[in-house]
Structures are given as structure tokens and as C-alpha cells.
């Protein structure tokens, strides 16, 4: 066997790193091109969380399902405008939040008859004091927590639900709500304080 000259550099071919597959990105592009089955894939992978958000916001199964369905219809119509630099889930939350707000306005008359303010809430039976976060772990207290959430101002309730229940980062929440991260922090702080004050009065 002939030896290679000492001055010869033997360079082996180096495989280029392959980019990991991103099914969501692929289906977004396909859906933007008009492929309905690609959009169905996106719906399948996001509908559970989006429906859960609508349930927490509207506290009515029928309204939540209609708002969720409306959100996906709006998303399909607006999909050509979606920019890849944004997270698709964050964009969906923005649409779902607007759908929930519209749904709440549509039922405003009915809601006024069944919803009261924090000051007007009747006395509740004595129960052990639990923080809102701890109460969410117990089904009985979860119902109470949902009542308290429904009484919060719109902006405060949205921030609290998105961060503490939906698991969004404060940055993502800020993108959904169209405010600064500091604004999100302030809204969450005020929402927690209002809930804790209401919780104490409910004892």
C-alpha cells in the first residue's frame, strides 16, 4: 500500500447538519397555501388548550365551544397574514381572546341578570382559607375560584388566566394583550390582590 505524503491533508467529507423537522411550521405553510387538511392538523394540535381557555374566560360550555370554533374560523381567514416570526399559539390566543370578548358582549344582557360585582356578592358558607392557586387544586374550590375570576376586570382576568392557567410566559402574554411585560406584571399583581381580598370576604 502506498503511503500518503506527510504534507498531504486527508479531508473527510463532513455531513451538513440537517434541520429538525417542524411539522407545525410545515403545516402552517401548507395551510397558507390553501391546503385545508394542513389547517385541520393545526386545529387538532391546538383545540384542547384553546377550548380550555375559552371555558375559563366565558364559564359556559356552549359559549366556549362557539367562541373556540369562531376563533379557528377567523384564524383560517387571517392565516395569509400570519408572520412566521410570531408563535402560532400566541397568535391563536389573540384571536380566541377577541372571540371570547365578542361572545361575552353578545350575551351581555343575559349576563347582567346573573352576574354581580365583588361588592354585591352574597355571603358564602364558611370554608377554609385557601389561596387562589391552591384552591384550583380542589374541584370544590375551583368553582369558587372561577366565580372570583369572572368578577375581575377584563384586562386583569386575561393576564391572570394566560400566565397562571395557560402557562404562557409574561412576554407571550404581553404579545397577546398588546402591552408591555411590566404591564402584564402589574395586571397579574392587581388581579391576585383582588382575588385574595374577595377570597377573605368569602370565608
DSSP string, 83-123: -TTS-HHHHHHHHHHHHHHHHHHHTHHHHHHH---TTTPPP
Condensed to tens digits (0 to 9), the pLDDT of residues 61-120 reads: 999 999 999 999 999 999 999 987 779 999 999 999 999 999 988 876 555 555 444 444
Confidence of residue 198 (pLDDT cuts 50, 70, 90): confident
Count of C-beta atoms within a 10 Å radius of residue 138: 13
For the 24-115 domain, the top CATH level (class) is: mainly alpha
Condensed to tens digits (0 to 9), the pLDDT of residues 143-188 reads: 777 788 888 999 999 999 999 989 999 999 999 999 999 999 999 9
For the 116-203 domain, the top CATH level (class) is: mainly alpha
Confidence of residue 142 (pLDDT cuts 50, 70, 90): low
Cβ neighbors of 128 (< 8 A, separation 6 or more) are none
Instruction: Provide CATH 1.10.1740.10 ranges for the chain.
Output: 24-115
Confidence at residue 114, expressed as pLDDT on a 0 to 100 scale: 52
Count of C-beta atoms within a 10 Å radius of residue 96: 26
Task: Identify the helix (H) or strand (E) that includes residue 129.
Answer: none
Q: Of the ranges 45-49, 50-54, 109-113, 150-154, which one carries the lowest mean pLDDT score?
A: 109-113
Confidence at residue 12, expressed as pLDDT on a 0 to 100 scale: 34
Instruction: Provide CATH 1.10.10.10 ranges for the chain.
Output: 116-203
pLDDT at 128 over 60: no
Q: 52 or 128: whose pLDDT is higher?
A: 52
Condensed to tens digits (0 to 9), the pLDDT of residues 26-42 reads: 999 999 999 999 999 99
Q: What is the pTM of this model?
A: 0.71
Amino acid at each position: 500500500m502506498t503511503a500518503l505524503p506527510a504534507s498531504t491533508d486527508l479531508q473527510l467529507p463532513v455531513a451538513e447538519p440537517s434541520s429538525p423537522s417542524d411539522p407545525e411550521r410545515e403545516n402552517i405553510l401548507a395551510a397558507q397555501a390553501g391546503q385545508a387538511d394542513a389547517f385541520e392538523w393545526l386545529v387538532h394540535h391546538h383545540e384542547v388548550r384553546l377550548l380550555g381557555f375559552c371555558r375559563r374566560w366565558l364559564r359556559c360550555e356552549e359559549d366556549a365551544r362557539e367562541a373556540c370554533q369562531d376563533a379557528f374560523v377567523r384564524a383560517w381567514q387571517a392565516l395569509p397574514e400570519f408572520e412566521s416570526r410570531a408563535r402560532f399559539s400566541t397568535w391563536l390566543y389573540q384571536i380566541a381572546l377577541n372571540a371570547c370578548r365578542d361572545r361575552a358582549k353578545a350575551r351581555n344582557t343575559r349576563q347582567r341578570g346573573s352576574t354581580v360585582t365583588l361588592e354585591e356578592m352574597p355571603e358564602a358558607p364558611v370554608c377554609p382559607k385557601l389561596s387562589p392557586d391552591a384552591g384550583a387544586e380542589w374541584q370544590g374550590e375551583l368553582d369558587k375560584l372561577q366565580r372570583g375570576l369572572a368578577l375581575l376586570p377584563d384586562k386583569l382576568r386575561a393576564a391572570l388566566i394566560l400566565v397562571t392557567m395557560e402557562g404562557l410566559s409574561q412576554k407571550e402574554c404581553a404579545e397577546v394583550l398588546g402591552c408591555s411585560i411590566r404591564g402584564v406584571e402589574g395586571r397579574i399583581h392587581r388581579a391576585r390582590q383582588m382575588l385574595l381580598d374577595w377570597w377573605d370576604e368569602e370565608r
